Amino acid sequence: MAETMRAALDDGTGQYVVQDVPMPAMYDGSAMIRIRQTGICGSDLHMTADRTEAQEMASGHEVAGEILELPKGETKLKVGDHVAVEMIGAGRACLNCHFCRYGQWKHCLGLAPDTGGGFAQYMTRKTAGIFKLPDSMDWVDGGVVEPMAVSVHGFRYGRMQPGDVVGVVGAGTIGLSAIAVAKAYGARKVIASARYHHQAEAARKMGADIVVGSEAGAFEAACLDATDGLGADFVAESVGGNQTVSFTQAIKATRNQGTMLYLAAIRSPMPVDLLEPMLREIRMQSVICYGVIDGRHDFEVAIDLLESGDIPYRDIVTHQVELENIQEGFDLAGDKTSGSIKVQVNI
């Protein structure tokens, strides 16, 4: 195998330069994966905007690829398998600490060193974080397993119940997976907000019953109107980023004793009036990434949902670019007026 590979690294100014870099290191328990598809996440855009120094290794975590090499003794996977990679937690987990013992690998206390992410030709990860794709799923499907798993984890961990009225603030990649998961889990009605026309259309395609714009008060009013003034049983905030309006919207749209799922990462410190949700006994549930719940990993559940054919989630992939043209992909992903929802990089 070659000693170098192609990888896209931010030069510290927000521009991605594709260059030759050393192959990722193999370590105890790791597999070598030839990356085939990687999605550009909103968090990749935020980290790019915040970065002030050049990257030393590739980022990118919405990864699908092919196994090239496995550690000795591995029996559940084989060389040549097409896989989705849970590269943040299980793919680096020690497998022995308090959190690993019950499948909460994101919180592992002894993570293996990061050897690089999906905006490159190759990566190494432990087999606990590698999930075989069914033959019916292609690389595009494999690349959307991770964002589907984010909402699967949130709705499972937050204990959404069949028959709930569900609200979803935002209709980007995670908001759309939240709508799809809510419907799959038996939501009686799903109300969503969308900033752009193409996001609103995608929200309806994922199963949203009511879609409103992002103007002030519209989402909260829709949730109240749909529930005779009670508010939604379960509301997911999926916008995050450098704003705080969506967090407040989600709380206001939740009924007394309902659940507000803090699903996206709001990166700006914010003043929060906790008296109102306290008096209304709202359960404010924060979640991050994925893990094992009720004996199954969220990636396994996400793959099952995608394989079923009932959810047209792959249709959120509006643009694809080659690795050598990754900057074009970042420009498209950051400009929603381009009609982009999910941009994937073909590796």
Minimal CA–CA distance to 149: which of 60, 36, 250, 62?
62
> Could you list the pLDDT tens digit for every one of the 347 residues in the chain?
789 999 999 999 999 999 999 999 999 999 999 999 999 999 999 999 989 999 999 999 999 999 999 999 999 999 999 999 999 999 999 999 999 999 999 999 999 999 999 999 999 999 999 999 999 999 999 999 999 999 999 999 999 999 999 999 999 999 999 999 999 999 999 999 999 999 999 999 999 999 999 999 999 999 999 999 999 999 999 999 888 899 999 999 999 999 999 999 888 888 888 999 999 999 999 999 999 999 999 999 999 999 999 999 999 999 999 999 999 999 999 999 999 999 999 99
Minimal CA–CA distance to 77: which of 24, 141, 131?
131
DSSP secondary-structure letter at 314?
A: G
For the chain, give the number of residues.
Answer: 347
Is the Cα dihedral 296, 298, 300, 306 positive or negative?
positive
Q: Which tokens hold the place of 233?
A: 């049983």
Q: Which uninterrupted H or E stretch holds 85?
A: strand 82-85
pLDDT digits (tens, 9 = 90+) for 103-148: 999 999 999 999 999 999 999 999 999 999 999 999 999 999 999 9
Q: Residue 217 burial (CB < 10 Å; 0-12/13-18/19+)?
A: exposed
Task: Give the CA dihedral 128, 132, 137, 143, nearest 10 degrees.
Answer: 30
Three-state DSSP at 131 gives: strand
Q: Which tokens hold the place of 109?
A: 């206390």
- Rounded Cα gap, residues 121 and 34, in angstroms: 6
Beta strands at 296-297 and 292-293: parallel, antiparallel or unpaired: antiparallel
Q: Give the pLDDT confidence score for residue 2 in this predicted structure.
A: 84
Give domain limits for the chain. 4-146+294-346, 159-286
Residue 150 vs residues 32, 105, 265, 282: alpha-carbon distances, Å: 24, 14, 12, 22
Three-state DSSP at 103 gives: coil
Q: Give the pLDDT confidence score for residue 246 in this predicted structure.
A: 93
Minimal CA–CA distance to 85: which of 151, 44, 135, 34?
34
Q: Concatenated DSSP letters for 280-307?
A: TT-EEEE--S--EETTEEHHHHHHHHHH
Three-state DSSP at 180 gives: helix
- Count CA within 13 A, CB hemisphere, residue 302: 34
The domain made up of 4-146+294-346 is a member of CATH 3.90.180.10: yes
- Domain 159-286, architecture per CATH: 3-Layer(aba) Sandwich (3.40)
